[in-house]
Homo-oligomer: A and B are copies of this chain.
């Protein structure tokens, strides 16, 4: 257990997007479920459980950002008429993802924090266009002063990623707080860079142990933390 750290003068608040501003994992799960249902109803001769297992395997192997999950799935399942099945899946997937919404009270929290004088930034891992698409769909594209995305910085979320953001902001790390759900990318790395790490206990990593400076069950509680008063 590291020594208790004391912070004064936090001025910059950095937010992750996925499972921090909105329930990304839940939506992804729902979108995949709906995509599989659409494939079966378009004539894929298989059962939901085996399709689901095959899809999980593909995502695990190719990564979540690969654009060909459903193409690979049809290939794996030796599907005849793959174009119809893939088009049905993509449609159902995107129709679900279109419905994304922020966690409760996120917009008002951001507005309140800005009013209190904090500089608000997004600091997120991912493909720039995809992350902007999420911000726009969440209606939060104008809620931040700056948006930092790993692809654009050419750096994955590491201490250097956070130090680069500090340079861009002209800020000392100790005046920055990173708010995110991921134990390594959001919490450990920002702490190593000298920032305050506020963990949001959401998403699939929420049960993992990790040393953060603060932890909240819901992002709306961030506004009540004493260091942000």
The chain A residues found within 8 Å of chain B, CB to CB, are 42, 83-84, 86-88, 90-91, 94, 128-133, 135-137, 141, 147, 149, 152
Contact = CB atoms under 8 A, between A and B. Distances in A.
B91 A129 contact: no
Contact of A84 (B83, B87, B90, B132): B132
Given A91-B137, A136-B91, A129 B86 contact: yes
Contacts of A136: 42, 84, 87-88, 91
Contacts of A133: 87, 90-91
Residues of A contacting B: mostly:
helix
A149 B81 CA distance: 11
Contacts of A129: 83, 86-87, 90
Nearest to A84: B132
A130 B136 CA distance: 25
Which of A84, A90, A94, A128 neighbours the largest number of chain B CB atoms within 10 Å of its CB? A84
Contacts of A90: 129, 133
B91 A149 contact: no
A83 B149 contact: yes
A148 to B, nearest CB: 11
A166 to B, nearest CB: 20
Contacts of A141: 42, 84, 88
A118 B83 CA distance: 25
20 contacts: A42-B141, A83-B128, A83-B131, A83-B149, A83-B152, A84-B132, A84-B136, A84-B141, A84-B147, A87-B129, A87-B132, A87-B133, A87-B135, A87-B136, A88-B132, A88-B136, A90-B129, A90-B133, A91-B133, A91-B136
Nearest to A132: B87
Given A84-B132, A87-B135, 18 more contacts: A42-B136, A42-B141, A83-B128, A83-B129, A83-B132, A83-B149, A83-B152, A84-B136, A84-B147, A86-B132, A87-B129, A87-B136, A88-B136, A88-B141, A90-B129, A90-B133, A91-B133, A94-B94
